Amino acid sequence: MYNDEYKRWLAADLADADLSPELRRIEGNDEEIKDRFAVSLKFGTAGLRGVLGAGTNRMNIYVVAQATQGLANWVKTQGGTQTVAISYDTRLKSDVFSKTAAGVLAANGIKVRIYDAAMPVPALSFATRYYNCNAGIMVTASHNPAKYNGYKAYGPDGCQMPDQAADIVYEEIQKIDVLDGAQQVSFAQGVEDGLIRFVGDDCKKAFYEAIESRQVRPGLARTSGLKLVYSPLNGSGLVPVTQVLKDIGITDITIVPEQEYPNGYFTTCSYPNPEIYAALESGLKLAQECGADLMLATDPDADRVGIAMKCPDGSYELVSGNEMGVLLLDYICAGRIEKGTMPENPVAVMSLVSTPLAKAVADHYGVELRSVLTGFKWIGDQILGLEKKGEEERFIFGFEESYGYLAGTYVRDKDAVVASMLICEMAAYYRATGSSIKQRLEEIYTQYGRYLNKIDSFEFPGLTGMDKMTGIMTELRNNPPAAIGKYKVTKAVDFKKSEETGLPPANVLLYELEGGATAIVRPSGTEPKIKTYFTTLGKDLAEAQAQKDELAAALKPLFS
């Protein structure tokens, strides 16, 4: 079956000149053909994500056109403005895929608003809301290596598409022939027909104004003398992040030169993920050279940000996503109470795999902290619930441990632009008061306890990878552990049982252990990985780390 599909592609007159040589190169190689054609990339709530190349199991203009036709079929049933917003990052083929999608939508009579240059996820979410669109498309593979690209679909609220709508789109996609089933016009024809228009300067200006309105202590950064090193990791963050920082008065910004401009090959770091040291390495060297207060990096689609903070001895220390979530929550709460801008009954939201330290901080400031399933759309869903009651101003902050943050309701996905602004404002504030981010973090640990949050990942590549992951999760459900290492399991929660959790069903298992530690097991929704999230609490870091190591060693054999 897959060989027949391969031969059909091989015989076709393919519009992308990169695809035919690849198909000819693998002729006679059954394993390579099977890998590309045995299955199709599945469209889910995270959209599409895959390796660039030829075939139904790859990201290419044909798979993108097929997905967009499925989306168009759904949009045509929705009434409204019959408009879709499109943005894209700096990855290989991102601009080509975005224009392909625009041509399919235009051929279906659907209006398009597309950015004229690479812009991040939050800009797409904002444009979707600004133009009252039926949907949005973001072409990106987030922080994956260079060989990947992807396609995220958004609903009219600017949140990633909910399960129900994504299922309908997927059903429509399956009816469409991948090579010639999509209606298409050229991008130029769509522009000429007036169906494709660029996002206007009014929308871009409104986006920046919405972000800058989220300052906690407006004007403070102008006089702070904060010295910053910034890396957009060759992605889409350069223009919006530097624009907003300069607008609030942070002008001493040194950009990492080799990571400044678009480069979809990401030649300076094979994995452009601000969670890992290798992605920040060039920036750290530069920070050391110029004595920066802070080093900051955004991922290619600029929805996540990582930082390194300067320590009293002049060294730099990476800040985890959990630590930054807690620092920002603490800063926003204290600052808004001080300025008299804290709303009544304030609400913050975090993913359930994020640190319980945030709960202690929220309780201290009288803030309701809600825990939701992993995936920022669930934080967006909480904002939507408040909005329906006319109470969206109650939302002050949302975060997840994977370096995603949002303050404000102007977008419904994580936003590295507003996060970068608030991190720099926070650093400027502590600098001005004779303190630092490092000092404040230590004060938080002294006040609430030494929490440690660590994640281990286990990869299951290849066509059988998903089956192995399913088998592991099934075994854990059928035979839950009575103990992990020497720690007795006091409570096991299966998030597939929504009647027990009060949340939508999810493939997540949580184990509460004697002594207060927790272990969470969760397959990734976008990559062939199972992740284990550990939270331990010790009298100091060494004790918390030792407990984590013991728990990890006990669980590791389950994933071999």
pLDDT (tens digit, 9 = 90+) per residue, 179-219?
999 999 999 999 999 999 999 999 999 999 999 999 999 99
Is the alpha carbon torsion for 433, 438, 440, 446 positive or negative? Answer: negative
Residue 48 has pLDDT above 80, yes or no: yes
Euclidean distance between CA atoms 88 and 494, whole angstroms = 36
Residue 525 has pLDDT above 80, yes or no: no
Residue 466 has pLDDT above 90, yes or no: no
pLDDT (tens digit, 9 = 90+) per residue, 139-160?
999 999 999 999 999 999 999 9
DSSP string across 442-471: HHHHHHH-EEEEEEEEEE--STTHHHHHHH
Q: Give the pLDDT of residue 531.
A: 94
Euclidean distance between CA atoms 505 and 507, whole angstroms = 7
Q: Give the pLDDT of residue 368.
A: 98
Is the alpha carbon torsion for 377, 383, 385, 387 positive or negative? Answer: negative
Catalytic residue among 94, 98, 125, 142: 142
Q: What is the mean pLDDT of residues 365-383?
A: 96
Q: Give the pLDDT of residue 450.
A: 93
Strands in 92-165 per DSSP E: 111-114, 135-139, 148-154
Residue 463 has pLDDT above 80, yes or no: no
DSSP string across 241-267: HHHHHHHTT---EEE-GGGSS--TT-T
pLDDT (tens digit, 9 = 90+) per residue, 383-396?
999 999 999 999 99
- Compute the mean pLDDT over every residue in the chain, rounded to the nearest whole number: 96
Q: Give the pLDDT of residue 558.
A: 87
> Nearest Cα to 533, choosing from 321, 228, 296, 260?
321
β-pair type (305-310, 294-298):
antiparallel
Euclidean distance between CA atoms 70 and 166, whole angstroms = 10
> Which residue would you say has higher pLDDT here, 283 or 162?
283
The pTM is what? 0.94
pLDDT (tens digit, 9 = 90+) per residue, 396-448?
999 999 999 999 999 999 999 999 999 999 999 999 999 999 999 999 999 99
Q: Which two tokens stand for residue 544?
A: 């918390």
* Whether the Cβ atoms of residue 279 and residue 306 lie closer than 8 Å to each other: yes
Residue 91 has pLDDT above 80, yes or no: yes
The one-letter code for the residue type at 54 is A
Residue 461 has pLDDT above 90, yes or no: no
Report CA Rg, the chain.
24
What confidence tier does 465 reach under pLDDT thresholds 50, 70, 90?
confident
What confidence tier does 246 reach under pLDDT thresholds 50, 70, 90?
very high
Residue 467 has pLDDT above 90, yes or no: no
* Whether the Cβ atoms of residue 401 and residue 532 lie closer than 8 Å to each other: no
pLDDT (tens digit, 9 = 90+) per residue, 294-327?
999 999 999 999 999 999 999 999 999 999 999 9
Q: Give the pLDDT of residue 448.
A: 93
> Nearest Cα to 118, choosing from 292, 249, 239?
239
> In whole angstroms, what separates CA 384 from the centre of its chain?
19
Question: Buried b / exposed e across 23-32, counting CB within 10 Å, b at 16+?
Answer: beebeeeeeb
CB atoms within 10 A of CB 364: 14
Give burial (CB, 10 Å; 0-12/13-18/19+) of 390.
exposed
Residue 320 among the catalytic residues: no
Q: Give the pLDDT of residue 62.
A: 98
Q: Which two tokens stand for residue 53?
A: 């190349």
pLDDT (tens digit, 9 = 90+) per residue, 259-297?
999 999 999 998 999 999 999 999 999 999 999 999 999
CB within 8 A of 167, min separation 6: which ones? none
Q: Give the pLDDT of residue 528.
A: 84
pLDDT (tens digit, 9 = 90+) per residue, 469-515?
999 999 999 999 999 999 999 999 999 998 989 899 999 999 999 98
> Nearest Cα to 190, choosing from 103, 68, 65?
103
Residue 464 has pLDDT above 90, yes or no: no
